[in-house]
Amino acid sequence: MTAPAFINMYQQLIAEPSISALDPQLNMSNYSTIELLAAWCENLGFQVEITELDSAPGKFNLLAKRGEGEGGLMLAGHTDTVPFDDSRWSYDPFKLSEVDNKLYGLGSIDMKGFFAFVIEAIKQLDTQGAKQAKPIMILATADEETTMAGAQEVAKHQSLKPEFCVIGEPTDMVPVFTHKGHMSTAIRVTGRSGHSSDPARGLNAIEVMHKIIAKLLQLKDTLKNKYSIEHFAIPYPTLNLGHIHGGDNANRICGCCELHLDIRPLPGLSIQELQLLLLEAVKPINDEYPNSVAVIDLHDPIPAFTGTTDSALVKLAEAVSGEQAIAVNYCTEAPFLQQLGCETIVMGPGSIEQAHQPDEFLAMEKIKPSQEKITQLINELCFKTKKAT
């Protein structure tokens, strides 16, 4: 018995809801998706290990391995998807819909579909009689879209030592050798509420937040002017004021105001340094209004992924894809999986422009060339055959 046909795998993966969200009402287990992958991997002769996350009960990682010895290639992806707004989807998010030469479905490119490509590639190589020479590992993680807890726990795996790692996020099969990190932070101002007719009897948290925002905009300019890496389309760290709420009535002094912001650090700018810059920016306001300002991580910060353009894996990926490796502004599990000591790239089917969008889709004309490149990459790194067909 072997894995199902490519499109059938795609259909089954999309049909298993596995949303991860910080809102408990939206958050789901990914176990049904993991079970699917485990069965397909076992049918191809992989030894499969399923592990429940210590930090997120009900969420699971899968590590499948075929072949003995050191090194080899790990093909990695996450099994979770973002939540969706049903009113903005034209199709059922949990049913693979083929319309106008596109495959629609939640996770079609971000990134459940990658597993179908990988398993199909291994099936093809086995059918061709190619002899495996190096270990192949398939890693499927949980909660990439929220905390990246799955990848962080894998990074602590003492005995997992692949030589190479390819993370199949949607890059249109262009290799990515470096990317920015991600910090989501809340700044909470606690004032004193009271009647608006007597401002002196309260402390208006909105007014205090106004002063903080001025400091944050200065920090935004500092980051733009002080740090730069030319590889990136946006060469500096970005700071975005994304969400603010406070107060409850026009005739009441606002007692609490909270601002959520997003910062994208460059490689070389550590999370610790960035957190210090943020604390320094708000310190004068906290000194003026003692103990009124709190800075809170909304989730564990994700460091930037630092790679090089001259690694063996990057050079091979460039040769296979016909594309020069690039830097991107979004972030992935790469900085955590890189901790295993492996050369790491991000490279997978589908366009990042479709990620987190209503009516997410994979363009069908990209299936064949993407499949050929993934198969060639696996062949070059793990099999003795010189060229995959």
Domain annotation covers residue 14 = yes
Q: Is residue 384 over pLDDT 90? A: no
- Give the closest residue to 295 by CA, choosing from 380, 186, 144, 189: 186
As a whole number of angstroms, the distance between CA 148 and CA 163 comes to: 22
Q: Is residue 389 over pLDDT 50? A: no
Residues 169 and 318 placed together within one structural domain of the fold: yes
Domain annotation covers residue 1 = no
Q: Is the peptide bond before 111 cis (omega within 30 degrees of 0)?
A: yes
Average pLDDT, the chain: 96
Angle between the N-to-C axes of helices 205-226 and 271-288, in degrees from 0 to 180, rounded to the nearest 10:
140
Domain annotation covers residue 73 = yes
Residues 252 and 321 placed together within one structural domain of the fold: no
Residues 129 and 49 placed together within one structural domain of the fold: yes
Single residue among 277, 297, 317 that ends a domain in this structure: 297
Local confidence band at 189 (pLDDT 50, 70, 90 cut-offs): very high
Confidence (pLDDT) at 51: 98
Residues 30 and 172 placed together within one structural domain of the fold: yes
Local confidence band at 22 (pLDDT 50, 70, 90 cut-offs): confident
Residues 164 and 230 placed together within one structural domain of the fold: no
Residues 104-131 have a mean pLDDT of 96
DSSP 3-state of 380: helix
Burial class (CB in 10 A: 0-12, 13-18, 19+), 190: middle
Confidence (pLDDT) at 158: 83
Q: What is the DSSP string of 68-120?
A: -SS--EEEEEE--B----GGG-SS-TTS-EEETTEEE-TTTTTTTHHHHHHHH
Residues 138 and 279 placed together within one structural domain of the fold: no
Residues 142 and 173 placed together within one structural domain of the fold: yes
Single residue among 274, 297, 320 that ends a domain in this structure: 297
Active site residues: 80, 144
As a whole number of angstroms, the distance between CA 146 and CA 211 comes to: 30
Residues 25-29 have a mean pLDDT of 97
Residues 174 and 187 placed together within one structural domain of the fold: no
Q: Is residue 333 over pLDDT 90? A: yes
- Give the closest residue to 231 by CA, choosing from 305, 160, 297: 305
Domain annotation covers residue 387 = no
Q: Which residues pair with 165 in a beta bridge?
A: 74, 344
> What share of the chain has pLDDT > 90, as a percent?
95
For residue 281, the domain's CATH number is: 3.30.70.360
Which domain range does residue 236 map to?
A: 183-297
Number of domains in the chain: 2
Residues 265 and 357 placed together within one structural domain of the fold: no
Residues 137 and 214 placed together within one structural domain of the fold: no
Residues 281 and 334 placed together within one structural domain of the fold: no
Residues 109 and 191 placed together within one structural domain of the fold: no
Give the burial string for 364-378 (b: 16+ CB within 10 Å, else e): eebbeebbbbbbbbb
44: tokens are: 């191809």
Single residue among 273, 297, 321 that ends a domain in this structure: 297
Residues 32-57 have a mean pLDDT of 97
Dihedral, 211, 215, 218, 219 alpha carbons, nearest 10: -150
As a whole number of angstroms, the distance between CA 184 and CA 162 comes to: 31
Local confidence band at 385 (pLDDT 50, 70, 90 cut-offs): low
Confidence (pLDDT) at 342: 97
Residue-wise pLDDT for 213-244, tens only, equals 999 999 999 999 999 999 999 999 999 999 99
Angle between the N-to-C axes of helices 31-43 and 113-127, in degrees from 0 to 180, rounded to the nearest 10:
10
For residue 60, the domain's CATH number is: 3.40.630.10
Confidence (pLDDT) at 388: 44
* Torsion sign, CA atoms 9, 12, 16, 19: positive
